Amino acid sequence: LGTAVGYVDGMRISADTGPTWYPAFPLPSWDNATLPSLRGMIRNTLTRSSLGHRWWHNDPDCLLLGESTSFTEEEVTSAATVVAMTGGMMLLSDDLTK
């Protein structure tokens, strides 16, 4: 991340989000921090949120709120709250016409 300071206006600060709380891929447990999951996105976003508005605008990855996920209402609320608290970019990746 540090090599981008002064060159970018926005920076992705989290791991990829995914449609499950824990990573769904059958990979080693030591790699769970970087695999697509809502838990990883929230953890990385909270850890790096202090970089926003100092070095760049934070991009915590998109929100997945629709029925294509297996999230509980509390998990969706947690994700939306964390993204809002970063004060950075917010992308919604659901089809709003449905």
C-alpha 77/C-alpha 65 separation (Å) is 9
Task: Count the Cβ atoms, other than its own, within 10 Å of residue 18.
Answer: 21
What are the tens digits of pLDDT across the range 10-64?
888 888 888 888 887 766 666 666 788 888 889 998 988 888 888 888 888 888 8
**Is the whole-model pTM more than 0.75?**
yes
C-alpha 53/C-alpha 79 separation (Å) is 20
Strand-pairing partners, residue 11, are 58
